[in-house]
Chains A and B, each alone.
Chain A
Amino acid sequence: MSLLDCKLLRDLRALKTQALAVALVMACGLAMMITTRSLMLSLTAARDGYYRENRFAQVFARLKRAPNAVREQLAAIPGVAAVETGLALQVTLDVPGLAEPATGLFNSLPERGAPVLNRPYLRAGRLPEAQSGGALAELAVGEAFAEAHGLRPGDTISAVLNGRKQKFLLTGIVLSPEFIFEAPPGAALPDNKTYGVFWAPYKELATAFQLYGAFNSVALTLAPDVAEGAVLAAVDRLLAPYGGRGTYRRDNHPSDRRLTDELRVLKALAFAFPLVFLSVAAFMVNSVMARQVALQREQIAMLKACGFANAQVGAHYLKFALVIVAGGVVLGAAGGLFLGEKFVDLYHIFFRFPALTFQPDLPALGIAAAASALAALAGVAGAVQRAVRLPPAEAMRPEAPASYQPAWFERLRIARWLGPSARMALRNIRRRPARSALTCLALALATGILILPNAMRDGIAHVLDFQWDVVQRQTVTVMLAEPQAARVLADFQHLPGVVLAEPFRSVPVELRAGPQVRRLALQGLPARGTLNRVIDGHPAQLTLPERGLIISTKLAEVLQVQPGDTLMIRPLEGEARDLLVPLVGLADDFAGVAAYMEMGAVNRLLLEGDRVNGAHLTVAAGEWDAFVRALKDTPQIAGCYVKNSLREGFRTTTAESIGLLQKMYSAFAAIVAFGIIYNSARISLSERARELATLRVLGFTRGEVGAVLVGELVLLTLAALPIGLLVGSQLARTIVATVSTETVRLPLVLTPANYAFAIAVVATASTLSALLAARKIAGLDLASALKALD
């Protein structure tokens, strides 16, 4: 080791706390970036591998029923590479240990061989086989539902198939690329307690529903380089006579879409936040190094006088900065990998892969490290350059004393009341406007990054309250297997404990506005219902007009329409007839996108009489158990959603992920605030050691001198807090808008408690670090203040 490197090490040891503070801030940014980038890489890699291995289809279609012969016709359409057909049917489940009925989506497995597309992945046990005679029918269950209920191969489960209750033996636990995100249709979050996916042999499922020899679900892959639109149109034409509800591509598949949304969120977080941290760290490196170079003026002069070249001296100080960067990179990489692993574990709740292994994004780490190093070097370059440019003889002399001026605000009348300590603080800020501004900005950013996670938490709480207290006031929603005449409502009303029943008619439609097209379920509701209500942004209940459509604000954004515009509705089932309807209002909702019409209008659109798909019910609390028992024995019900169970699922899953996020951001913000204040206080202490020692000699106590030292920082922190709240609110707005997708959507909710928390964290971290730095005042050499400057 050269002696200069030896000096470097010893200098670093003297600066270890400051170097650590800088490295930690840098590490926060790097950790955040590595975590998010690695998660993106892990998710993408897991998804792509899974899709490839298990042959996830590219195009999907649902229909009423088509004979199996149509499969050959589908395969014959030019551009279609592979076809899989089967049955997908919703059933009501009776799960041991679960009071309310759960809903199951039963998928068929081909009679011979493995499915061509959307192959299930067997996690445990074996796939179910068709049974003959009196043997128990077999079923495989999706992993999320199995885990939620502790189901294992060998357990049994009851389901109502086409009105007949039947018992099944679970043979295996299965995953599928179609159900990486296993949630009820339209739900933003999984509810694994009351919704599950199952696989049954084709023969038994088809027989139970009297669909043998037919299929109602299609999956396709396309040949490379074909005109997708033409193929899809051909498929639609072919399936239309069989009740085809229109094809959709993979990017509209609920599971794939949810995954894509998650990747989008990660992408939004992977850039902005790390950038904030790395900029703050670069500023800190700059201030530490500038001070170090200033302190070592004479040493630099001596080195030059002895014949060291400018390049050697410059390299020495650049190395100094690089050692700090290296520390930050090591800490950041370790932190990022640790957090990444944690988040991968968390993702297991939302996304089911055969294997979601954490894959560190090492190139990203490399790029981030290089960027940090460059930023640090850029920060140091100026100071080093100033130092090496000085002729040795001049550098040997101490720097000229700092010159001060009164700050502009001292001309104000109020300034007369300022004591000398306050004036010192103000003038120090004024003398170094850039450094003061940057310190203030860094503290503002520390405050700001605390806003987002709490805004997300509050947004979720708002969604919970809004969606489930204001919009959906029912206790339970029951769905019929097939639309039925409206008089079925009377049956629901007679179920034990039912206080109120409101019907709904739901039908898959295609909404078209110019070139924009979306497929979704059109909800037909009573004009002004009391249970499932349509609420606008005020929030006030909207009345559904006899003619006209109300859609989610987000859907209007996607379709690029506003109230007054006309949309075309194409029903995707029944006697399809296109209809132009005016958009009459926008509804505020947060889960998925929806379109609402008055129920009678929907039935007129469908050219049907009064028919319903199900009903929203309120059930008296005391009679819930009786209601649930009766419900499980009501054959025409294909499924039900219990509000409180959805709500609970929402709360636990999001609470966990937001909780982790919140802890992470709070810790990072505290580190930045702590680091910035500590570093600033130490630099200030170093620059003003003589001044502060003088004050001590004059009889100021340690506490009073401490107040002089941190007074400047207190002012900067006070200035930073409101800026931070503004910046944080804006950052939260941007990120919430970025991550606001059609499947997941959060309102921006900013509460005083959120602001108070941010202020408290930054104030506490600042105070603690200021106290820590102020302890160094005890170490001031008072006698040295008496000595002349050398």
Chain B
Amino acid sequence: MQTSGRNVTANARPSEPLDRRDPVFHARGLAKIYGEGEAAVRALAGVDLDFFAGELVVLLGASGSGKSTLLNLLGGLDSPTAGTLCYRGRDLATADEAGLTRFRRDAVGFVFQAYNLIPSLTARENVALIGEIARDPMPPEDALALVGLGARLDHFPAQLSGGEQQRVAIARAIAKRPEVLLCDEPTGALDIRTGLTVLDAIERINRELGTLAVIITHNAVIADMAGRVFTLSDGRIVNVRENRTRAPVASLAW
């Protein structure tokens, strides 16, 4: 793995030192092939990585680079064709459907590009929904306060702006106090200003709760807020960059 430095802005924050002994995710030779024979598509072609507790990772790559596939595997939505993938020493590669569901339920918070809120539930209820399945959920109000949504708790998704919806989605993701927050293009559908509020919420969760946050994006600017940046191309990690200081979200612009 390579590391490289980058310009540090005036009010940048130094990266926290990582405890590299005990990875949250540990992958070796991770591969995913869709289809068979001539129609086979190699979406991921041997990826090695270790993600650690409390870090904020950005997976950068163009469309088709394999970053979504990697996120699907990390999130337990799919199983690899080859290679090993462990979460806290638990083998995810060979876990069955029920095991993966349990993993998602207990450990992973998802944030989707299209928010994916339940339209028939209010902001508060969307977050409270997680309370039905989580072992030790946060009160919905607290989770919403963490993402800066103290008001508008009783609005339905259709009554909220895109940025607000995405922050509800983040509150929903963290309400179960997950160890991992996986964000798939969280700002993809948002303008810069609202995108920044969303990134700010993610950064705050990462900082205050110590949640491992993995953001996939094609927007290179966002990479500056990460501790480590993995660049994917053609199903492989082609570059790993460690930011000595993480740029404050407010300083990002695209």
List residues of chain A with CB under 8 Å of any chain B CB: 400-406, 419-421, 423-424, 427-428, 431, 690-691, 694-702, 704, 782-783, 785-789
Contacts and interface: CB of A to CB of B under 8 A. Distances in A.
B101 A423 contact: no
B119 A697 contact: no
Interface string B71-86: 1100101100000000
Contact of B77 (A401, A431, A695, A783): A783
Contacts of B72: 782-783, 786
Contact of A697 (B97, B110, B113, B122): B110
Main secondary structure of the interface of A (DSSP, over half): helix
A444 to B, nearest CB: 24
A424 B118 contact: yes
A534 B75 CA distance: 81
Nearest to B112: A786
Interface string B115-127: 0101111100110
Contacts of B158: 400-404
B71 A427 contact: no
Given A697-B75, A697-B77, A698-B130, A423 B120 contact: yes
Interface stretch (B16-24, B183-191, B232-240): B183-191
10 contacts: A402-B119, A420-B128, A423-B120, A690-B116, A691-B119, A698-B110, A698-B130, A704-B133, A786-B184, A788-B114
Lowest 8 A-B CB distances belong to which pairs? Answer: A699-B105, A403-B158, A694-B116, A427-B120, A699-B104, A788-B113, A420-B129, A782-B77
A404 B71 contact: no
Interface in B81-104: 97-98, 101-102, 104
A420 B133 CA distance: 11
A782 B112 CA distance: 12
A2 B227 CA distance: 58
B156 A699 contact: no
Nearest to B189: A788
A400 B112 CA distance: 18
Contacts of A698: 104-105, 110, 129-130, 133, 172
Contacts of B176: 699
A428 to B, nearest CB: 6
Contacts of A694: 112, 116, 118
A787 B119 contact: no
Contacts of B122: 406
Contact of A403 (B118, B126, B159): B159
Contact of A405 (B101, B105, B156): B156
Contacts of B120: 402, 404, 423-424, 427-428, 431
B178 to A, nearest CB: 9
A783 B44 CA distance: 15
A450 B113 CA distance: 50
Contacts of A785: 112, 116
B121 to A, nearest CB: 6
Nearest to A400: B158
Nearest to A693: B116
Contact of A786 (B113, B119, B134): B113
B48 interface: no
A702 B105 CA distance: 12
A699 B118 contact: no
A397 to B, nearest CB: 14
Interface residues of B, number: 42
Contact of A788 (B75, B98, B118, B185): B185
Contact of A423 (B78, B125, B134, B159): B125
Nearest to B172: A698
Contacts of B194: none
* Most chain A CB within a 10 A radius of its CB, from B101, B113, B118, B128: B118
Nearest to B107: A699
Nearest to B98: A701
B101 A786 contact: no
B78 A783 contact: yes
Interface of B: 68, 71-72, 75, 77-78, 97-98, 101-102, 104-106, 108, 110, 112-114, 116, 118-122, 125-126, 128-130, 132-134, 156-159, 172, 176, 184-185, 188-189
* Most chain A CB within a 10 A radius of its CB, from B72, B98, B112: B112
Given A401-B157, A423-B125, A786-B110, A691 B133 contact: no
A569 B114 CA distance: 88
Contacts of B189: 788
Contacts of A406: 122
Nearest to B157: A401
B122 to A, nearest CB: 8
Nearest to B178: A699
A151 to B, nearest CB: 71
B116 A423 contact: no
A435 to B, nearest CB: 15
A676 B118 CA distance: 25
A701 B125 contact: no
Given A698-B110, A699-B101, 6 more contacts: A405-B156, A420-B118, A697-B75, A697-B110, A786-B77, A786-B112
A701 B106 CA distance: 12
* Most chain B CB within a 10 A radius of its CB, from A690, A691, A694, A702: A694
Contacts of A421: 129, 132
A686 to B, nearest CB: 15
Contacts of B128: 420
A424 B116 contact: no
Nearest to B122: A406
A691 B116 contact: yes
A409 to B, nearest CB: 15
Contacts of A697: 75, 77, 104, 110, 112, 116
Contacts of B184: 786
* Most chain B CB within a 10 A radius of its CB, from A402, A403, A428, A698: A698
Contact of B132 (A419, A696, A702, A786): A419
A697 B68 CA distance: 14
Given A404-B158, A782-B77, A786-B112, A699 B121 contact: no
Contacts of B77: 697, 782-783, 786
Contacts of A704: 132-133
Contacts of A699: 101-102, 104-106, 108, 133-134, 176
Nearest to A789: B114
A704 B118 CA distance: 15
A787 B113 contact: yes
A421 B98 CA distance: 21
Nearest to A407: B120
A783 B104 CA distance: 13
Contacts of A405: 156
Contacts of A690: 116
A424 B121 contact: yes
A405 B132 CA distance: 22
B156 A700 contact: no
Nearest to B126: A420
A699 to B, nearest CB: 3
Contacts of B101: 696, 699-702
Contacts of B125: 420, 423
A209 to B, nearest CB: 86
Contact of B71 (A400, A691, A702, A786): A786
Nearest to A692: B118
A782 to B, nearest CB: 5
B19 to A, nearest CB: 26
A774 to B, nearest CB: 15
A421 B132 CA distance: 9
Nearest to B128: A420
B68 A783 contact: yes
Contacts of A786: 68, 71-72, 77, 110, 112-113, 184
